[in-house]
Amino acid sequence: MRAAVFALLLALAPAPQAAERLMQPVTPQAVAGQIGARLEDLHGAQGLRGRFTQRKKLAGIARPLTSGGQFLFVRGKGILWHTTTPFDSEFMLTARQMMVTESGSVAMRMQTAEHPALRLVSDLFLALFALDFDALGRHFDLSLAAGDPWRIGLVPRDSALRAVATRIEMKGSRLVSEVVLEDAHGDRTEIVLDGVQHLQAISPAESARFPP
């Protein structure tokens, strides 16, 4: 009896290995349909907060460049990365600008209106963090392995975006846990997110960190 129940449970359990290998081309609607239910918390949240670790593997260098710190994503506002290693700097991205702050003073600021390339990148990252499949579907061919964790592959359709990444892969379950970007030169960037919390409300102080 116990063995039978165990066998039954085993049969019902998903086979993650198999799912991971099978990535099927899909429409944005299909992605939302297949894994949307698991992302309800994310789509209902006002934002996300957590830690990130980034590893960049560059052609010509054996040792990857590793950095890490905390991030804050606020829906409709932008993303803030606070890098703590290897050095302290703050990186802010909104739909309108990108700003780098070091020890309290602005080290660099770019407006998306003046830099079309920056606008592409900012649209892309804001859509990635919000998991806005419609927005992503406009510029990428999507593919999906709908297991748990799910994986979504993104291949840009335009040369402008291919200058940023030739392929992006996201992995997650109720949250995005990993993003991998590969570029045309063979360089590869892996971003691992952990300790991620959904924010149901954004404090005025957090909101104020994003200029209008």
Partner 1 sequence: MAGATSAATLRLRFASYLVFLLLVGLVLLLDVGPKLRPETDLLALLPATEHDPSVNQALREVSASLGSRVVFLVGAAEFGDARAAALRFAETLRESGAFSGVLAEIAGSGLMSHAPYAAYLPALVSDRHLKMLRAGESQRLRHEALRALYAPLPMPSAVPVAEDPLGLANAFLLQRLPSGGNALPRDGVLTISDHGLDYVLLTAQLGGGAFASDVQDRALAAIGAAEAGARQAVAPRPLRLLRAGLLFHSAAGTRQAKQEIALISTVSLAAVAALVLLTFGSLRPLVMTMTCLVVGTACGLVACYYAFGGLHLLTLVFGSTLIGVAVDYSNYYLHDAFDDPASWTGERALRNTTGGILLGLCTAALGYLALTLAPFPGLRQMALFSAVGLAGAAGCVLFLYPLLAPRPKNPRPPILRAVLALYAGVAQLRRTRAAGVLLLAVLAAGVLRLTAQDDIRLMQSSPPEIVADEVELRRLVGNTPDSRFFLVRGADAQGVLENEEALRPQLDAAVAQGAIGSYMAISRALPSLKAQREARELLERQVYGRGGILEGLMRELGFAPEAIAQRREAFRQVPAPGLEPAPWLDSAAATPYRALWLPQGNASLVMMSEVRDLAALRAIQVPGVVLVDKVAEVSELLGRYRAAATRLLVLAYAGAAVLLAWRYGAKRSLPLIAGTLGAAAVTLGVFGWLGLPVNLFSTLALLLVLGIGIDYVIFLQEGAGGGHGPLLAVMLSAATTLLSFGLLGFSQTPFLRSLGLTLLLGIGCAFVFALLGANLRSEES
Q: Does 67 bind partner 1 (CB under 8 A)?
A: yes
Helix (H, G, I), strand (E, B) or coil at 204: helix
Q: Does 87 bind partner 1 (CB under 8 A)?
A: yes
Closer to partner 1 at the Cβ: 34 or 125? 125
Q: Does 86 bind partner 1 (CB under 8 A)?
A: yes
Burial of 131 (0-12, 13-18, 19+ CB in 10 A): buried
Q: Which of 160, 194, 200, 211 binds partner 1 (CB under 8 A)?
A: 160
Q: Does 211 bind partner 1 (CB under 8 A)?
A: no
Q: Which of 60, 104, 195, 212 binds partner 1 (CB under 8 A)?
A: 60
Q: Say if CB 46 and CB 176 are below 8 A apart.
A: no
Q: What is the dihedral of CA 10, 12, 13, 19, to 10 degrees?
A: 120
For residues 173 and 147, give the distance between their C-alpha atoms in angstroms, rounded to a whole number.
9
Q: Say if CB 209 and CB 94 are below 8 A apart.
A: no
Per CB under 8 A, residues contacting partner 1 are: 52, 54, 56, 58-63, 65, 67, 71, 81, 83, 86-87, 89, 91, 93, 98, 100, 102, 107-108, 113-121, 123, 125, 138-139, 157-165, 181, 183-187, 189, 191
